[in-house]
Chains A and B, each alone.
Chain A
Amino acid sequence: KNEVEQSPQNLTAQEGEFITINCSYSVGISALHWLQQHPGGGIVSLFMLSSGKKKHGRLIATINIQEKHSSLHITASHPRDSAVYICAVMYSGGGADGLTFGKGTHLIIQP
């Protein structure tokens, strides 16, 4: 089965630090999602990427299609950023194939 690998699995940092979460996948994709999930909560889509780089507030997502790799960066991290961040891909099937998810990165930002 095609896999989505995320690293690190767990990350604890101090408020204000620059955070990077990485995602790699094995075969061609149509799109890659970065998702956020707070404990006990639903899922919020942060970014959907098919190429290049996107920025929203303190969040930046990049993707390198040739290397099959994406990163999510958080600048000036804050305790409210504490959540699970999940990378999910849609493979190049042409239709609605559903998403394949990474195992998530559990981020804790300490004040």
Chain B
Amino acid sequence: DTEVTQTPKHLVMGMTNKKSLKCEQHMGHRAMYWYKQKAKKPPELMFVYSYEKLSINESVPSRFSPECPNSSLLNLHLHALQPEDSALYLCASSHLPGQVGTGRALYEQYFGPGTRLTVT
């Protein structure tokens, strides 16, 4: 299984709503990532989890709250979003150094299909 799944595929929410995005992988990866991609722009890193602990937060507003309940799951909780938060939210996962000895698997990131979020 070399797949990263994300749900939902599409989400429309109002500015007062609370919603969550979900990401799942069963490749034994211990690093998981959230990226945000605005239209016609490259993705930008939001958060990194290493061994289920938040290791990088790229100065993301607190209305985005990540959670990694176990090594296979990554959530992004959304609350009081703004219309400018509308974007494609991508999840990715990879092995971590020390997890595998050598080889390309060390750093390759596997991407999910994304959740297209519209904030109205």
Interface residues, chain A, with chain B CB atoms under 8 Å away: 30-31, 33, 35, 40-45, 48, 50, 86, 88, 90, 94-104
A95–B50 contact, CB under 8 A?
A: yes
Q: How many A-B residue pairs have CB under 8 A?
A: 72
Q: Given A95-B50, A98-B45, A104-B42, A42 and B113 touching (CB < 8 A)?
A: yes
Q: Does more than half of chain B's interface fall in helix, strand or loop, or is it mixed?
A: strand
Inter-chain contacts of B90 with A (CB < 8 A):
42-43
Interface flag for B25 (CB, 8 Å): no
Inter-chain contacts of B88 with A (CB < 8 A):
42
Q: Given A43-B90, A44-B111, A48-B104, A95 and B96 touching (CB < 8 A)?
A: yes
Report the minimum CB–CB distance from B30 to chain A (whole Å).
8
Inter-chain contacts of B112 with A (CB < 8 A):
42
A42–B48 contact, CB under 8 A?
A: no
Inter-chain contacts of A88 with B (CB < 8 A):
42
B108–A102 contact, CB under 8 A?
A: no
Q: Given A95-B97, A103-B42, A31 and B107 touching (CB < 8 A)?
A: yes
What separation, in Å, do the CA atoms of A96 and B88 have in the docked complex? Answer: 22
